[in-house]
Structure 1
């Protein structure tokens, strides 16, 4: 019996060795050099702790077993959050930090066809103030800013230290074109137009449409400003258009089938 048991044990030992060779790795595993292990990882092992599960230190960590969903924004917070996205700079309007002013809201008209939806009162554009607030809509305010940046400022350049103020003759006014009886409602009556008559420079000097349109260097600058407004605005009128615009530029954002109307 003892001999048979020994033979059986030897048989199973051969089987285990064969299985081990079959699952053996293709190359020998090399131990990681001690210098590559952080010192804090290397700890001496005590014979008394062999086979004992290490104790996990207690921390204040909170285990989240499911993803947290953000809470719905309170109704009282929504208007303020929306306004901060629309007006990135305090005092700015139309979502553009370069257009300063105040939100007015809807302006009803006294006669049919007049009025402004979501009106603003613009006080300065790209650092150039207006002599008084322009009551207009945002598309007109943005067109004015485009012209100031790409037309007016480059035309004047460094002359007199640059432009400090635009003298506003008119913005919103509920009336017909040129105040003629029976005529169509003016773009001024829709908040889509501004009339500018002069430009005050930082050194105190000024250029006026009435006096300087044909006055040498100043006249050339005014003509360049008039020309560069054609594009940002749909209608551009000046001294060459008619007797009603001898002393100012009329800019509005009305568009026609033939494109921009410039005179």
Structure 2
């Protein structure tokens, strides 16, 4: 009897709860001003234009393709076109030619092996001499006789400072050689010691020819405000690769050129 009473009470209260359930949703209605703001944000502003889409990689590749090649198909690979075999052969041939014309075991030093050179004065002469035409892509105004140590010092000097001394857009393409091997005494003075020129260990540079065709000489350039600072930097950079570096301020014998040699001194590099 108690269980029957409980069932009756549950039915009564359950029906009351169902009757209290609202037919409509209890969410608050949207405010009119919010709808207006949404519509205003979605409306395009006066004068606005849609942004242009960036060109696809396929179109860019097709625009740069060679004229004799077909258009790229959809989904085709964008890998770079293979170089023709003829171009690779030309590069290899040129490298073989440079290797064949190199001396001192360095492809950047182009010239000829001369071998032993005898001097007409005691103390002169060069063992294993080379005649150099070009170093590190910079030509010499005349093929110059020297030792391999001298050629390597020139290469270091050119790479370190000379080539780009007047700007990377106007590189030095040639060195004006005033003197190289010559069997003589220092400054041609009677009774003086044999010059380093007489041993193939020295070279004199009197000017620098640029890609523009202009030649900056040591004589005039040292007096010019625009080039004096650059020439001094070139002169200073030679100290180290070379054992002796003489310039216009050294003495009257070097007013118009840089004297460079690979002689070694007890006190280190002699620069003046």
User: What CA RMSD, in Å, does the superposition of the two structures yield over aligned residues?
Assistant: 1.3
Instruction: Determine which structure has more spread, i.e. the larger CA radius of gyration.
Output: 2
Once residues 149 and 183 of structure 1 are traced to their aligned partners in structure 2, the CA distance between those partners, rounded to angstroms, is 34
Q: 2:220 aligns with which of 189, 206, 211?
A: 211
Q: 1:183 aligns with which of 172, 192, 211?
A: 192
Q: 1:236 aligns with which of 245, 249, 255?
A: 245
Counterpart of 2:21? Answer: none
Deviation at 1:217, TM superposition (A): 2.2
Quick check: 1:88–1:96 contact (8 Å CA) kept in 2? no
Counterpart of 1:36? Answer: none
2:158 is the alignment partner of 1:148: yes
2:207 is the alignment partner of 1:193: no
Quick check: 2:165–2:171 contact (8 Å CA) kept in 1? no
Once residues 204 and 154 of structure 1 are traced to their aligned partners in structure 2, the CA distance between those partners, rounded to angstroms, is 15
Counterpart of 1:71? Answer: none
Deviation at 1:156, TM superposition (A): 2.4
Q: What does the per-residue CA deviation read over 1:171-208, in whole Å, with 9 as the maximum and x for residues that have no partner?
A: 00000000000000000000000000000111111110
Deviation at 1:88, TM superposition (A): 8.2
Counterpart of 1:95? Answer: 105
Counterpart secondary structure, 1:158: coil
Once residues 177 and 210 of structure 2 are traced to their aligned partners in structure 1, the CA distance between those partners, rounded to angstroms, is 15
Once residues 168 and 126 of structure 1 are traced to their aligned partners in structure 2, the CA distance between those partners, rounded to angstroms, is 16
Once residues 148 and 213 of structure 1 are traced to their aligned partners in structure 2, the CA distance between those partners, rounded to angstroms, is 19
Normalised by the size of structure 2, how large is the TM-score? 0.63
2:110 is the alignment partner of 1:107: no
Once residues 154 and 213 of structure 1 are traced to their aligned partners in structure 2, the CA distance between those partners, rounded to angstroms, is 18
Counterpart secondary structure, 2:100: coil
Once residues 260 and 223 of structure 2 are traced to their aligned partners in structure 1, the CA distance between those partners, rounded to angstroms, is 20
Q: 5+ residue gaps in structure 2?
A: 1-96
Q: What does the per-residue CA deviation read over 1:17-68, in whole Å, with 9 as the maximum and x for residues that have no partner?
A: xxxxxxxxxxxxxxxxxxxxxxxxxxxxxxxxxxxxxxxxxxxxxxxxxxxx
Counterpart of 1:15? Answer: none
Quick check: 1:88–1:95 contact (8 Å CA) kept in 2? no
Counterpart of 1:227? Answer: 236
Quick check: 1:134–1:171 contact (8 Å CA) kept in 2? yes
Once residues 261 and 216 of structure 1 are traced to their aligned partners in structure 2, the CA distance between those partners, rounded to angstroms, is 26
Counterpart of 2:267? Answer: 258
Counterpart of 1:58? Answer: none
Once residues 255 and 161 of structure 2 are traced to their aligned partners in structure 1, the CA distance between those partners, rounded to angstroms, is 20
Counterpart of 1:123? Answer: 133
Deviation at 1:238, TM superposition (A): 0.4
